[in-house]
Structure 1
Amino acid sequence: MALTATGVAGAVAGCLGEEDGPAADGETVDELPTPVQGDPDSDVTVAVYEDFSCPGCQTYKLSVYPEIKTEFIESDRIRYEHHDLPVVNETWSYQIPSAARAVQDTEDDEAFFAFAEAIYPYQDEYSFDTVESVAEEVGADGDAIRDAAEDLTYLPVIEASSDAGQDRGVSSTPTVVVNDELLTPQQGEDFYQEIASTIESAE
């Protein structure tokens, strides 16, 4: 079951799911701040819920996010947040965000977002080698990030993010929440324009 929408460069297909996730191997990190871009004190918060294995999230990240980044993030018009919401229930739905959170934890939020944007093009061919190389591209320790992905070191952080999203009423990815207004891709609609209009109305 999927929601679809016409985005800047084609359809943004949403993902739905309710399966249980995997178990971590070894010690875990239980808490980590929400990754943030833009103005952390902005009156407009754009919270985006993603699954790194969701094709619609890949389309969002590669087609919609760059415009949001240019128009609203780089100009500090919004507080932009990333939230994990694994719904596809594939291995990479948990291992990729664990790697991304490891980049955040060992580097910073800027490196986290750089890693997230750089890893999505490999969605159809995710591998631990790719995780390691992309981590190194953004300045992180490739071996350490690979270990975090393999061991699901940040699984509690991912699960807490998912639980909070579901408590907020988020049930599919990608979902964009502008302050308290939930937006999901709809067939025949331009998702970027919908997000942009909602942001501008909230300013």
Structure 2
Amino acid sequence: MRETPTRRQVLAAAGVTGIVGLAGCTGGGSTPTTDGQGGGGNGDGNSDGGGDGNGSEETPAGQLSPPVRGDPEADVTLAVYEDFACPHCRDYSENGYPALAEAFVDTGQIRYEHRDLPIPVLDPESFEAANAARAVQTRHGREAFWTYADALFANQDALGSETPGLYAEVAVELDYEGEPVRTDAVDRAYTDTVMGDRQRGIDAGVEGTPGFVVNGEVVTSGFGDSTVETVRSAIEERL
């Protein structure tokens, strides 16, 4: 009898499968290509490592720690897996995150992590944009990462048509170094970090972006009208 591949096996081989009931990025791009790309960098960009039993494990050697908001030592961790080319991630960033931030991040009740999961929606832009953001993290710190990430989402429509110059332009507009960010994006200097996050999300069971994982357990994947309340409930159950 021929063995039927599991959902996780399909995810690992070809991106991410479809999800039901929510809008999310779940494929449509090509299979990831990482040949000839660089390593993961070796600094933490003023980020905070995990390893405290709240779903945020130790960062593997050679990979950057995830950018963190809120209380790095909180008992509850919300990790959000995103693709910078995914329109649903942009929608969440602009219309979903502020409510969660007000309720849990700004009050220091949770540890909030960004995790990369390039589907890819665009290839190579999904990978390049993630590397660009990590380049900013390394050179300018954690808060700079979040500022740059927000700007990438705001300029999402230009990915593909104005890249790779866009990575430098956005950096310069924010008073960060431009050319090093563009170079690291094109060279995928943080491939180990980006692809390590991607595999971590797949292994956890994330089925699309944005994917929401609370203390190591997938709560939901995709973004829709009920997402914030679903995530809110999951957090409150663990507080």
Q: TM-score range by the shorter chain?
A: 0.7 to 0.9
User: Equivalents in 2 of 1:174, 1:144: separation in Å?
Assistant: 28
Is 1:134 the counterpart of 2:144? The answer is no
Select the residue among 152, 155, 169 that pairs with 2:188. 152
User: Equivalents in 1 of 2:103, 2:182: separation in Å?
Assistant: 33
Task: Please give the per-residue CA displacement for 1:28-65, whole angstroms capped at 9, x wherever unaligned.
Answer: 63421111111000011000111111121111111111
Within 5 Å, give how 1:34-183 maps onto structure 2.
34-89=66-121, 90-126=123-159, 127-183=163-219
Larger RCO: 1 or 2 (CA < 8 Å, sep 6+):
1
Is 1:21 the counterpart of 2:33? The answer is yes
User: Equivalents in 2 of 1:98, 1:70: separation in Å?
Assistant: 28
Decide whether the 8 Å contact of 1:49 with 1:83 is kept in 2: yes
Decide whether the 8 Å contact of 1:50 with 1:173 is kept in 2: yes
Aligned to 2:11: none
Bigger share in strand: 1
Decide whether the 8 Å contact of 1:111 with 1:139 is kept in 2: no
User: Equivalents in 2 of 1:55, 1:167: separation in Å?
Assistant: 23
Query: What is the CA-CA distance between 1:185 and the residue it aligns to?
Result: 4.8
Query: What is the CA-CA distance between 1:81 and the residue it aligns to?
Result: 0.5
Percent identity over paired residues: 37
Query: What is the CA-CA distance between 1:153 and the residue it aligns to?
Result: 0.9
Farther off after superposition, 132-141 or 62-71? 132-141
Decide whether the 8 Å contact of 1:51 with 1:86 is kept in 2: yes
Task: Please give the per-residue CA displacement for 1:130-162, whole angstroms capped at 9, x wherever unaligned.
Answer: 221222344421111111111111112111111
**Which structure 1 segments of 5+ residues have no match?**
6-11
- Computed over aligned residues only, the root mean square deviation of the Cα atoms, in angstroms, reads 2.3
Any idea what SS the aligned residue of 2:155 has? helix
User: Equivalents in 2 of 1:166, 1:60: separation in Å?
Assistant: 20
Any idea what SS the aligned residue of 2:91 has? helix
Query: What is the CA-CA distance between 1:189 and the residue it aligns to?
Result: 4.5
Using a 3 Å threshold, how does the CA distance of structure 1 residues 64 and 188 change in structure 2: closer, same or farther?
closer
User: Equivalents in 2 of 1:149, 1:14: separation in Å?
Assistant: 24
**Which structure 2 segments of 5+ residues have no match?**
1-16, 42-61
Any idea what SS the aligned residue of 2:96 has? helix
Spell out structure 1 runs of 4+ moving beyond 6 A: none
User: Equivalents in 2 of 1:180, 1:28: separation in Å?
Assistant: 23
User: Equivalents in 2 of 1:49, 1:186: separation in Å?
Assistant: 10
Aligned to 1:8: none
Using a 3 Å threshold, how does the CA distance of structure 1 residues 187 and 22 change in structure 2: closer, same or farther?
closer
User: Equivalents in 1 of 2:203, 2:99: separation in Å?
Assistant: 29
Any idea what SS the aligned residue of 1:15 has? coil
Aligned to 1:196: 232
Any idea what SS the aligned residue of 1:140 has? coil
Using a 3 Å threshold, how does the CA distance of structure 1 residues 145 and 48 change in structure 2: closer, same or farther?
same
User: Equivalents in 1 of 2:224, 2:152: separation in Å?
Assistant: 28
How many residue pairs are counted as aligned between the two chains? 197
